[in-house]
């Protein structure tokens, strides 16, 4: 076995341990951030999440410019963009996330603290993602995603700076990158309450650094290894499917960076829970809660594969590459989550849109 095949999952394990620890210790959760923003008049969590994406983008773009990372082979930057997959997948993922109460990343963090209902969600999400990739549900993916694509071959990839350059007579990459990073930074720090939220800022810095590290580690290993290595960073949909596949069948290939991250996230969360003495075995209260977790996890597994990522995969990892899929997917996930929360808390998924009628 080549050294890179050992280093790769080990690097993922280390990165996942940090992500799991900081999420458990500092309550980093996308759905919780959205819920507080919509229902609690508190945007600190959302600003922390956006800051994590900006930090990841700053570090990643700096590494690319310095030649320390080569992300050109990332599937987030392919020349084909499935806009319908991003929309349908995002809506499904967001609604499912609301039903479960967290995303795949959050479910792994909760699992580290002893949540057996999160274990159920993780298993269903992974199995559904695997089926959407390679099984029966893949037929739906092909019909929804692969048939409706935009071709960005003229730009060379689907990053926003490349697309801007494709329609401009001068090179505007640097200007575009600065604008894409400056605008969210202004929104983040214009809020006085967040400027004093040291925990939220530190958490965002750590998460952003871990995502950037993923691009550095996998691209460097891919450049020196004699076996194919996928250039990737943090994501928690397809890697869950890969974990299940490794357990169920021997494919002849070892675990990759994403598989290492899955185990690392659970381990880091468990470590943080143990240090805080809040490890608690927790199961579903009744059949209704169990069914909600199963349905929600299935929607996340199917939607996450269609959208090529989750709130971490698209929202932070793809965002660090400035991919055009990010705003489309994340807006769709936001709409889906808003409808899901309205269904649970207000009795109707259409409640948020009634004021517009």
Give the whole-angstrom CA distance, residue 319 versus residue 330.
10
pLDDT at position 285 = 85
pLDDT at position 357 = 52
Rounded to the nearest 5°, which phi and psi values hold at 282? -140, 130
The residues spanned by each domain of the chain are 3-356
Residue with the two structure tokens 């200007």: 175
Within 171-280, where are the H helices? Answer: 173-189, 192-195, 198-224, 238-248, 257-275
pLDDT at position 1 = 53
Give the whole-angstrom CA distance, residue 158 versus residue 149.
12
Give SS3 for 323.
strand
pLDDT at position 273 = 95
Rounded to the nearest 5°, which phi and psi values hold at 151? -100, 115
Residue with the two structure tokens 């943090």: 234
pTM score, two decimals?
0.94
- What token pair was written down for 31? 């759905």
pLDDT at position 316 = 97
Contact 108/275 with Cβ under 8 angstroms? no
Residue by residue, pLDDT tens for the chain (357 residues) are: 567 778 999 999 999 999 999 999 998 999 999 999 999 999 999 999 999 999 999 999 999 999 999 999 999 999 999 999 999 999 999 999 999 999 999 999 999 999 999 999 999 999 999 999 988 888 877 777 777 899 999 999 999 999 999 988 788 899 999 999 999 999 999 999 999 999 999 999 999 999 999 999 999 999 887 788 999 999 999 999 999 998 888 777 788 999 999 999 999 999 999 999 988 898 888 899 999 999 999 999 999 999 999 999 999 999 999 999 999 999 999 999 999 999 998 888 787 777 655
Q: Which of 163, 164, 143 is nearest to 152 (CA)?
A: 163
Give the whole-angstrom CA distance, residue 155 versus residue 202.
36
Within the chain, where are the H helices? Answer: 3-26, 30-39, 44-66, 83-100, 104-112, 116-134, 138-141, 160-166, 173-189, 192-195, 198-224, 238-248, 257-275, 287-306, 319-320, 325-345
- How many other C-beta atoms are found inside a 10 Å radius of the C-beta of residue 189? 13
Give the whole-angstrom CA distance, residue 65 versus residue 322.
14
Cα separations in angstroms, 97 against 81, 106, 257:
23, 10, 24
């Amino acid at each position: 076995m080549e050294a890179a095949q050992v280093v790769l999952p080990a690097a993922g394990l280390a990165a996942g341990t940090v992500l799991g620890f900081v999420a458990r210790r500092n309550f980093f959760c996308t759905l919780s951030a959205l819920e507080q923003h919509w229902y609690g008049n508190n945007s600190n969590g959302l600003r922390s999440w956006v800051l994590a994406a900006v930090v990841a983008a700053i570090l990643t773009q700096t590494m690319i410019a310095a030649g320390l990372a080569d992300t050109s082979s990332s599937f987030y930057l392919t020349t084909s963009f499935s806009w319908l997959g991003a929309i349908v997948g995002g809506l499904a993922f967001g609604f499912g996330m609301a039903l479960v109460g967290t995303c795949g990343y959050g479910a792994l963090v909760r699992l580290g603290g002893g949540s057996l209902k999160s274990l159920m969600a993780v298993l269903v999400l992974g199995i559904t993602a695997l089926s959407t990739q390679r099984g029966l549900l893949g037929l739906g993916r092909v019909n929804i995603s692969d048939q409706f694509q935009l071709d960005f071959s003229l730009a060379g990839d689907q990053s926003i700076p490349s697309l801007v350059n494709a329609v401009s007579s001068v090179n505007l990459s640097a200007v575009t990158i600065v604008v894409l990073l400056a605008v969210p930074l202004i929104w983040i720090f214009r809020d006085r309450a967040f400027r004093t939220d040291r925990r939220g800022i530190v958490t965002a810095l750590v998460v952003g650094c871990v995502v950037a590290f993923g691009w550095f580690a996998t691209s460097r290993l891919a450049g020196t290894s004699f076996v194919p290595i996928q250039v990737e960073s943090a994501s928690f949909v397809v890697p869950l499917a890969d974990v299940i596949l490794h357990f169920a069948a021997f494919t002849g290939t070892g675990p990759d960076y994403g598989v290492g991250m899955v185990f690392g996230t659970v381990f880091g969360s468990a470590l943080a829970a143990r240090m805080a003495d809040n490890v608690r075995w927790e199961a579903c209260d009744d059949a209704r809660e169990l069914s909600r977790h199963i349905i929600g996890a299935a929607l996340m597994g199917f939607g996450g594969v269609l959208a090529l990522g989750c709130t971490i995969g698209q929202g932070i990892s793809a965002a660090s590459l400035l991919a055009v899929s990010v705003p489309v997917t994340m807006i769709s996930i936001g709409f889906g989550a808003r409808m899901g929360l309205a269904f649970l808390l207000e009795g109707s998924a259409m409640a948020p849109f009634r004021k517009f009628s």
